[in-house]
Structure 1
Amino acid sequence: MVEEHAEKAEEPGGLQNLRLTLRRLYHGHTTTALRFQLAVIMLDLAVIAFFVISPVLREGPAFLWVDYTIAAFLAADTLARALASSNVARWARQPTVWVDVFILVTLLFPYTFANLGFLRILRLWSLSRSGFIWRPLDRRGLGEWRDAMRAIVNLVTFLFVVTGFVYTSFFRNGAGFEGYVDALYFTVATVTTTGFGDIVLPGMWGKLTAIVTMIIGISLFVKLAQSIFRPSKVFHPCPECALQRHDPDAVFCKACGHKLQIPEEA
């Protein structure tokens, strides 16, 4: 605590005010903060939509302009989140931050990392894990749907990551948008184990891709089913052990036995 106060004392007044303002915008509950958070979420979803179709748009004349614009937005957002964090070193160690930095590198060098561009869709996973996108649900008393929505996000992320990989590796040459649809069709048919067989990937690597897709896809489907059909829980962090999910009528934490005070509206 002494070191943290010392660091704050060393910061210039302008930088400290900027960090406080960003912290209020990213983590606050005022009308201005909620509007700012909603705007960031909408921009993120638009960026993710671009990432989904970017393998097809790569040869377009405006691709680089859009690519570098998104890179500027992502760099500004990452820097702002770092400044809004109370502990920058701990924030920088989070896997979601590493994912965002990797995505930023692929945006700054789009042709150098062309074969890894499909991994940009991991931004959706990063956004999901940060908790930023789920706060509107919590504020409306719909926090019990967070696990199901997160499972859906994980499944959608996986589908489009695999689709991008399949398109880049097997359908890219002269295929265009039709090739991307074929890659998506193959991915969905494989994940659901439907296996129509009208589109197959050639060679040993194609078979290995199909095997990995089926194994991980089935696991994500099971996770989604569990999150929907298991008994509902409420999100109320235990002050002793930080366990997040509890039964709505829980009096004591199942993990540590600490007495809970779960609000009725939770």
Structure 2
Amino acid sequence: MSEKPEELRDEGEFGRLCDRLRQLYHGRSPAAVRFQLATIIVDLLIIAFFIATPLIRDRPAFLWVDYSIAAIVAVEIVARMLGSSNVPRLLRQPSMVLDLFILATLLAPQWLENFGFLRILRLWSLSQRGLLWAQLRQTRYREWEDVARALINLVTFLFVVTGFVYTSFFRTTSGIEGYVDALYFTVATVTTTGFGDITLPGVAGKLTSICVMIVGISLFVRLAQAVFRPNKVTFPCPECALQRHEPDAVHCKACGHKLKIPDHDD
């Protein structure tokens, strides 16, 4: 038998690569779960670098680390595109748009450094992955899902605002002092403590403070609701698709359908 043309063989290998990536990114096999957990760990390390960026920006090795992170993010974006069955829809997703913007700030840190604080939004993007919460729901801590989501949103907001305040108002302060001042101002403003020892100058500073207080207190209220309201579990009703139920519920309170909520307390 004659060998297949080189083009067909390459196309077949490319198709197998796409199928393999699709299984790794969207599958639930043990190998896929391990791969997805590994990507989450890498993401957390990248997020830690983003948080520390204002503190190490002037180090000689910063650009090397920055471009290395850019290469990792670029490879991950390409892999997600290859593993997607609908690339145009993937490119319209907020998480992908955010990752492309983050990649641009990494590739051009000198020109887009004023927007670098938005990189922290990758923490929010990470929280949108279903695997993270699917693993939590299989443990005895599944009732803390809402608390964890609210806490991630609050932490993301704190560091995004801290980065913005540092870039816009405290950049002239050298070393770690300027970043700590920005973080201190953000926490004091979000909690509406208002010590007044650190304030933002001018009209822009006042408007920034107002926005931080309004959004921050909303996130705090959301976190408080998640902590103190009666615990519920996420279990879609097969009949009406109601998502939230009491842990010991036998019937859906919306339609009366009999539920079989798994018990993970063992």
Same fold (TM over 0.5): yes
Report the more deviating stretch, 60-69 or 87-96. 87-96
Deviations 1:87-138 (CA, angstroms, capped at 9, x unpaired): 3333322211111111111111111111000110000001112334333312
For 1:148, the equivalent position in structure 2 comes to: 147
The answer for the alignment partner of 1:69 in structure 2 is 68
Deviations 1:196-248 (A, max 9, x none): 11111111111111111111110000000111122222222355665533334
Report the counterpart of residue 5 of structure 1 in structure 2.
none
**Paired position in structure 2 for 1:210:** 209
Q: 1:250 to 1:72 in 2, by over 3 A?
A: farther
TM-score, with structure 2 as normaliser: 0.86
User: Residue 229 and residue 83 in structure 1: after superposition, are their counterparts in 2 closer, same or farther (change >3 A)?
Assistant: farther
- Structure 2: which amino acid aligns with 1:35? R
* Matched residue, 2:263: 265
Q: Which residue does 2:165 correspond to in 1?
A: 166
2:14 alignment partner AA: L
Identity %: 60
Bigger Rg, which one: 2
Alignment of 1:67-146 (within 5 A): 67-146=66-145
> Amino acid of the residue matched to residue 216 of structure 1?
V
Q: 1:235 to 1:18 in 2, by over 3 A?
A: farther
**What SS does the aligned partner of 1:251 have?**
coil
* Aligned counterpart, 2:32: 33
- Distance in 1, Cα, partners of 2:133 & 2:214: 28
Structure-1 residue corresponding to 2:7:
none
Q: How far apart are residue 259 of structure 1 and its match?
A: 4.1
Change (3 A) 1:260 1:61: farther
Gaps of 5+ in 1: 1-10
Q: Corresponding residue for 1:157? A: 156
Maintained 8 Å contact 2:127/2:152: yes
Q: Residue 8 of structure 1 aligns with which residue?
A: none
Find the aligned partners of 2:92 and 2:263 in 1 and give their Cα distance.
34
Map Cα deviations across residues 34-83 of structure 1 (whole Å, 9 max, x no partner).
33222211111111011111122222211111111111111222222233
**Preserved contact between residue 163 and residue 180 of structure 1 (Cα < 8 Å):** yes
**Structure 1 vs Structure 2 CA RMSD:** 2.3
Cα distance in 1 for residues equivalent to 2:72 and 2:90: 19
Aligned equivalents of 2:83, 2:243: Cα separation in 1: 23
Deviates more, 1:152-161 or 1:169-178: 169-178
Distance 1:233 1:15 in 2: 45
* Correspondence list, 1:169-248, <5 A: 169-238=168-237, 243-248=242-247
Amino acid at match of 1:251: H
Contact 1:122 1:161 in 2 (8 A): yes
Superposed CA offset, 1:165-214 (max 9, x none): 11101111142211100110111111111111111111111111111111
Task: Sort the Cα spacing of 1:132 and 1:29 in 2 relative to 1 into closer, same or farther, 3 A.
Answer: closer
TM-score by length of 1: 0.86
Matching residue's letter, 2:179 = Y
**Mapped contact 2:237–2:259 kept (Cα < 8 A):** no
Residue 200 of structure 1 aligns to a residue in which SS? coil
Q: Match for 1:246: what amino acid?
A: H
Q: Given the alignment of the two structures, is residue 251 of structure 1 paired with residue 251 of structure 2, yes or no?
A: yes
- In 1, Cα distance between equivalents of 2:91 and 2:138: 27
132 and 67 in structure 1: CA distance in 2 versus 1, 3 angstrom threshold: farther
The alignment of Structure 1 onto Structure 2 pairs a total of residues equal to: 254
Gaps of 5+ in 2: 1-9
Q: C-alpha distance in 2, partners of 1:92/1:239?
A: 32
CA distance in 1 between partners of 2:234 and 2:113 (Å):
41
